[in-house]
């Protein structure tokens, strides 16, 4: 079969065919696995106070225990680039599906082990050390999972549906955040403080590990991407270390991907993760009210991702990012402006802001388009994970520092990154997915 038929050349009927039942199966299983893996990665933060109490000496100051606990959490982010590079390297050489299975397995096992980990009272100083090792493994796993999932779904569907596929997968990842929030809420609602400290904190980790292993089993039914199969048949896989080729031949794509990922990480971290605490402090909302609104925003984000990806497939990523970034900046500003006089509008305005954050789903579409298939996994993984490790960690610090001089720091930071995203659009280069095979 001709390579164009497999990879989505615009001249081929394969490029414009509708999505098949097999395509939807691939999208569903990939999104489900991504949701469960992201749940495993973030559930740690919902139980950080309990972990701090159980895994460090009881005579240690509370602030120091919190710092060390979040340090272990941050280690997962720092491990993402290295893990992503290694997984992507073999994904470009050995196959997308193999690494797709490995990443979810590498996430599930550490999560399951966290659920049975000995505490400081049992294992002493080895308890936090063991927890740190497991967290690093989780970071390495998610570093390979997210870029790998985008590559996997984009190389399965026709070219005209790549935006929708990336949007659907990204929605699955955000569903993992919502699932973590709901499970944490259920645990706190059904168990008392003493029960949570004694044993109930383990339940979310055990569930995550079991669900992850189920996801591994389900992913066995997925097939290798047609793009990789054709490259292997034609013996056109990378003849050198893929990352070396990326850094030498695709520097513009790397820079654009890093900057756009900065926008992606800032929008998620500030609008979805930080805003509930900011609203509580600035407008004296209860934690319950802020979390309910946050759940609505996270749910709306999933629909926004699918919508933005679909629109990008119709009108292109440049226009979608430009319009979406303006809409996000305006809606997020409106949320803070109206909260002072109309606190009853919190849920709809926050949900609207969450929906517009969905523009970030166009960013993986851009990265998939800019890197040729032969080094696509490595190019996306390096750019995305490096940017997320740096800016994902610095964003909360930067916003906190700015808030000392301006209560509008979150809005200013998100708006600035929206402008940066718009400024990147002229440098976006989309290519047919078969160029790497020519």
pLDDT of residue 438: 33
Q: How far apart are the first and last CA of the chain?
A: 14
pLDDT of residue 14: 53
CA–CA dist 14, 29 (Å, integer):
22
Residue with tokens 């096992």: 109
Domain residues for the domain of 382 are 3-437
CA–CA dist 411, 24 (Å, integer):
37
pTM for the full model?
0.82
pLDDT of residue 239: 64
The number of distinct structural domains making up the chain is 1
Q: Report the b/e string of 90-115 with b at 16+ CB within 10 A.
A: bbbbebbbebbbbbbbbbbbbbbbbb
DSSP at 11: T
Strands (E), 122-252: none
CA–CA dist 298, 31 (Å, integer):
16
Q: Of 165, 181, 247, which is closest to residue 46 (Cα–Cα)?
A: 181
CATH of the domain at 67: 1.20.1250.20
Are 411 and 330 within 8 A, CB to CB? no
> Which tokens hold the place of 106?
């590498």
Which pLDDT tens digits describe the chain residue by residue (438 residues)?
333 333 333 444 455 677 888 888 888 888 887 888 788 877 887 787 888 889 988 888 877 877 787 778 778 778 888 888 888 888 888 888 888 788 888 888 999 999 999 999 999 999 999 999 998 998 888 888 888 889 888 888 888 899 999 999 999 888 888 888 888 888 888 998 899 999 999 999 999 999 888 888 877 778 888 888 888 777 666 667 888 889 998 999 999 999 999 999 889 989 988 888 788 888 888 877 887 888 899 999 999 999 999 999 999 999 999 999 999 999 999 999 998 778 889 999 999 999 999 999 999 999 999 999 888 989 999 999 999 888 877 788 788 888 888 888 999 999 999 999 999 999 998 764 443 333
Phi then psi dihedrals of residue 157, to 5 deg: -95, 160
DSSP 237-269: S-SS-HHHHHHHH-HHHHHHHHHHHHHHHHIII
> What is the sign, positive or negative, of the torsion defined by CA atoms of 420, 425, 426, 429?
positive
Q: What is the pLDDT of residues 41-88, one digit of tens each?
A: 778 877 878 888 899 888 888 778 777 877 787 787 788 888 888 888
Q: What is the pLDDT of residues 96-116, one digit of tens each?
A: 888 878 888 888 899 999 999
Residue count of the chain, please give it.
438
């Amino acid at each position: 079969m001709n390579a164009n038929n497999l990879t989505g050349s615009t001249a081929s009927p394969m490029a414009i065919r509708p999505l098949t039942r097999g395509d939807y199966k691939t999208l569903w299983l990939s999104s489900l696995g991504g949701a469960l893996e992201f749940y495993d990665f973030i559930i740690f933060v919902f139980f950080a106070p309990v972990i701090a109490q159980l895994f460090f000496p009881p005579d240690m100051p509370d602030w120091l225990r919190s710092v060390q606990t979040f340090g272990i959490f941050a280690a997962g982010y720092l491990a993402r680039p290295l893990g992503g590079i290694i997984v992507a390297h073999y994904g470009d050489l050995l196959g997308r599906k193999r690494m797709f299975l490995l990443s979810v397995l590498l996430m599930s096992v550490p999560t399951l082990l966290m659920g049975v980990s000995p505490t400081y009272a049992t294992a002493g100083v080895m308890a936090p050390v063991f927890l740190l090792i497991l967290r690093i493994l989780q970071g390495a796993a998610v570093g390979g999972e997210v870029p790998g999932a985008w590559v996997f779904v984009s190389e399965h569907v026709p070219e005209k549906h790549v935006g929708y596929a990336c949007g659907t997968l990204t929605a699955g990842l955000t569903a993992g955040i919502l699932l973590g929030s709901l499970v944490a809420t259920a645990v706190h609602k059904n168990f008392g403080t003493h029960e949570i400290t004694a044993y109930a904190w383990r339940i979310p980790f055990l569930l995550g590990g079991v669900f992850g292993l189920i996801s591994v089993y389900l992913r066995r039914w997925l097939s290798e991407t047609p793009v990789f199969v054709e490259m292997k048949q034609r013996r056109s896989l990378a003849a050198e270390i893929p990352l070396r080729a990326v850094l030498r031949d695709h520097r513009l794509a790397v820079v654009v991907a890093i900057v756009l990922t900065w926008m992606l990480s800032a929008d998620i971290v500030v609008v979805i993760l930080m805003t509930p605490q900011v609203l509580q402090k600035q407008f004296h909302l209860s934690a319950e009210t802020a979390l309910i609104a946050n759940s609505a925003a996270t749910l709306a984000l999933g629909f926004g991702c699918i919508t933005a990806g679909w629109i990008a497939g119709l009108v292109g990523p440049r226009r979608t990012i430009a319009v979406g970034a303006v809409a996000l900046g305006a809606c997020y500003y409106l949320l803070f402006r109206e909260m002072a006089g109309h606190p009853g509008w919190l849920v709809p305005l926050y949900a609207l802001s969450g929906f517009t954050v969905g523009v970030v789903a166009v960013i993986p579409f851009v990265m998939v388009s800019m890197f040729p298939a032969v080094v696509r996994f490595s190019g996306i993984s390096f750019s995305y994970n490096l940017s997320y490790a740096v800016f994902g960690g610095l964003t909360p610090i930067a916003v906190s520092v700015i808030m000392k001089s301006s209560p509008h720091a979150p809005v200013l930071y998100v708006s600035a990154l929206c402008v940066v995203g718009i400024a990147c659009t002229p440098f976006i280069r989309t290519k047919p997915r078969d160029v790497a095979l020519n």
